């Protein structure tokens, strides 16, 4: 066995499998799959987005988090906020319409090319040109539309047809393609081939950077040459949580998801979940109340983190903030509140939710040597245009209302945006046994929390742990996914909960793609893809 990979599209997973067969390690395969996802999963992610990855290298026995999420643009720039390309578009989700903003001034500094290339350089085995070859071929030969990508394209049609060049890609025959048809990215194939030869420098200081900066100037954007040239990947030590004999490794900020999942795990440590029936009312009520308390605690974390940003954003200061938020006394106080609520006391009021970008995807890879890589990427929804003849599409992170609660374009230039993305690793007795992550906006943390608990507390096989029905609590409503028994939903209503019964599984609840050892003593790996988001696996 060369390795296993789990991803959100068959052609994404296949790109990673090709590289594993060619002798690449898990990093090579994950980077190859990520670049392929910009083609195969282009309605969800693109080469102009950002991401977070976590790597366990068996040679060093050390985990490392690569933070390549987007930053606020505007370094050495001057602009008139009254005269920028920043336009509101409404996306029809059926029950409601949701506003987003697109255009050149919706673009945050893209980090994904820098992050993937740095990972390949520092921990990969193959040349970058070879790693990118599957993605380049896919861009030329066309990516097949799946049910998941067709659904997302239909939602985002106003964005994917906003300007003629992007409309030419997504509606080549005057309409969106249907399942089984293909999308082609010939200009992007050329750009990726150049990156394969020149590395990330092409994107941040070379010809592509020049074209991005020129496009921004001509069309009233905020992104400057200095923003691109100054962008850097942050390498960090993960947050470590000891949970029922397992070590859970979670990314620190810019990931808010890692901090909040760590908080939820600490609350659950005092609850004997393994004695309960999986997805029973008792089980799901506990998860609901833990999610409620996590939502309540979130503004406290954001206040602590803002103090760090306003003073000095050093690794030491961030670690001190995490330690303060997860202090034993503070956790104990919330555990008391949890017990009181479960005993019948009225729950604390929940604040307004602050979700993040909904268009994310995830890739997990393990190789024969035990190297694990888990990567989540996002581009928001897409900014609605293509940069010159590069084929490059960019993010609209600055157009995500939920990422800018204090108003658009208010952050200082160079500041990293925060994200719910949370690629996670699990160790047992110091050895890696699981890598996972999820797409899905604010549901990322509830999806990952339940996946971890399904594996650790309930010992579910990986496939079942990934695809089991989920619960999500937010804004006063308990969302119960299809597959949860009607009698359980009835009990929630009897106890006074406001619930929403979903008739079947839905991508609303995330997309948790994972790889794991077949058992703790084995060197054999298995994989599971989340069917909610087109999950697919390759075993090589």
- Give the residue numbers annotated as catalytic, written as ranges: 360
What Å distances lie between residue 515 and 10, 86, 133, 244, 273, CA to CA?
16, 40, 24, 20, 23
Closest listed residue to residue 101, CA positions, set 93, 89, 84, 110: 89
Q: Check: CB of residue 289 under 8 Å from CB of residue 268.
A: no
Q: Check: CB of residue 409 under 8 Å from CB of residue 107.
A: no
Find the Cα–Cα–Cα–Cα dihedral 453, 457, 458, 459, rounded to 10°: 100
Cα atoms in the 13 Å half-sphere on the side-chain side of 308: 23
Q: Check: CB of residue 454 under 8 Å from CB of residue 468.
A: yes
Running DSSP on this structure, what letter comes out for residue 442? Answer: T
What Å distances lie between residue 300 and 120, 190, 293, 322, CA to CA?
37, 47, 11, 11
Strand partners, 240: 249
Q: Check: CB of residue 55 under 8 Å from CB of residue 63.
A: yes
Task: Compute CA 467 distance to the chain's CA centroid, rounded to the nearest angstrom.
Answer: 18
Closest listed residue to residue 438, CA positions, set 388, 350, 508: 508
Count, residues in the chain: 540
**Helical pair 26-40 and 112-123, crossing angle rounded to 10 deg:** 160
Collapse the DSSP code of 218 into the 3-class scheme (helix H, G, I; strand E, B; otherwise coil) and give the result.
Answer: helix
Secondary structure of 66-80 as H, E, C letters: EEECCECCCCCCCCC
What Å distances lie between residue 333 and 13, 267, 360, CA to CA?
44, 10, 34
Closest listed residue to residue 187, CA positions, set 128, 140, 153: 140
Closest listed residue to residue 475, CA positions, set 355, 343, 325: 355
Cα atoms in the 13 Å half-sphere on the side-chain side of 482: 8
Taking only Cα atoms into account, the Rg of the chain, rounded to an integer number of angstroms, comes to 22
Q: Can you tell me the distance from the alpha carbon of 35 to that of 11, in angstroms, rounded to the nearest whole number?
A: 11
Closest listed residue to residue 53, CA positions, set 3, 129, 108, 120: 120
Closest listed residue to residue 451, CA positions, set 219, 264, 197: 264
Task: Compute CA 349 distance to the chain's CA centroid, rounded to the nearest angstrom.
Answer: 28
């Amino acid at each position: 066995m060369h390795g296993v990979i789990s991803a959100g599209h068959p052609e994404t997973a296949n790109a990673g499998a090709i590289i594993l067969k060619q002798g690449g390690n898990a990093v090579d395969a994950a980077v190859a799959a990520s670049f392929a996802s910009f083609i195969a999963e282009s309605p969800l992610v693109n080469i102009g987005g950002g991401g977070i990855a976590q790597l366990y290298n068996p040679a060093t026995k050390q985990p490392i988090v690569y933070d390549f999420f987007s930053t606020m643009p505007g370094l050495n720039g001057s602009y008139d906020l009254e005269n920028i390309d920043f336009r509101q578009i409404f996306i029809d989700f059926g029950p409601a319409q949701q506003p987003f903003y697109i255009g050149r001034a919706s673009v945050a500094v893209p980090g994904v090319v820098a992050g993937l290339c740095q990972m390949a350089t520092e921990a990969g085995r193959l040349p970058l040109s070879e790693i990118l070859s599957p993605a380049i071929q896919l861009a030329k030969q066309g990516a097949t539309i799946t049910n998941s990508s067709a659904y997302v394209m239909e939602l985002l049609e106003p964005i994917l047809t906003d300007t003629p060049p992007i409309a030419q890609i997504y509606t080549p025959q005057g309409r969106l393609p249907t399942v089984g048809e293909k999308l082609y990215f010939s200009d992007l194939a050329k750009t990726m081939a150049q990156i394969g030869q020149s590395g990330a420098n092409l994107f941040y200081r070379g010809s592509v950077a020049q074209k991005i900066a020129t496009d921004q100037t001509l069309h009233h954007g905020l992104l400057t040459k200095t923003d691109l040239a100054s962008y850097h990947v942050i390498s960090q030590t993960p947050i470590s949580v000891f949970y029922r004999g397992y070590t859970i490794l979670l990314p620190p900020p810019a990931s808010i998801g890692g901090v909040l999942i760590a908080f939820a795990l600490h609350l659950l440590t005092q609850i004997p979940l393994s004695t309960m029936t999986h997805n029973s009312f008792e089980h799901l009520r506990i998860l609901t109340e833990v999610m409620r308390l996590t939502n309540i605690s979130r503004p406290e974390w954001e206040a602590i983190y803002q103090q760090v940003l306003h003073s000095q954003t050093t690794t030491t200061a961030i670690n001190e903030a995490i330690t303060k938020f997860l202090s034993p006394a503070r956790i104990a106080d919330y555990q008391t509140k949890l017990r009181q609520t479960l005993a019948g006391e009225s729950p604390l009021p929940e604040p307004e939710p602050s979700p993040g970008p909904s268009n994310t995807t995830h890739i997990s890879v393990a190789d024969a040597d035990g190297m694990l890589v888990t990567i989540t990427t996002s581009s928001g929804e897409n900014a609605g245009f293509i940069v010159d003849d590069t084929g490059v599409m960019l993010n609209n992170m600055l157009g995500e209302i939920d990422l800018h609660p204090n108003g658009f374009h208010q952050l200082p230039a160079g500041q990293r945006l925060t994200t719910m993305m949370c690629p996670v690793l699990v160790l047992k007795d110091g050895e890696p046994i699981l890598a996972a992550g999820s797409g899905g906006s604010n549901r990322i943390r509830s999806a990952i929390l339940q996946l971890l608990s399904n594996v650790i507390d309930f010992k579910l096989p990986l496939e079942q742990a990934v695809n089991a029905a989920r619960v999500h609590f937010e804004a006063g409503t308990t969302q119960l996914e299809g597959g949860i028994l009607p009698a359980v939903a009835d009990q929630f209503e009897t106890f006074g909960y406001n619930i929403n019964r979903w008739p079947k599984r839905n991508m609303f609840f995330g997309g948790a793609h994972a790889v794991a050892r077949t058992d703790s003593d084995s060197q054999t790996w298995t994989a599971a893809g989340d069917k909610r988001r087109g999950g697919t696996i390759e075993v090589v």
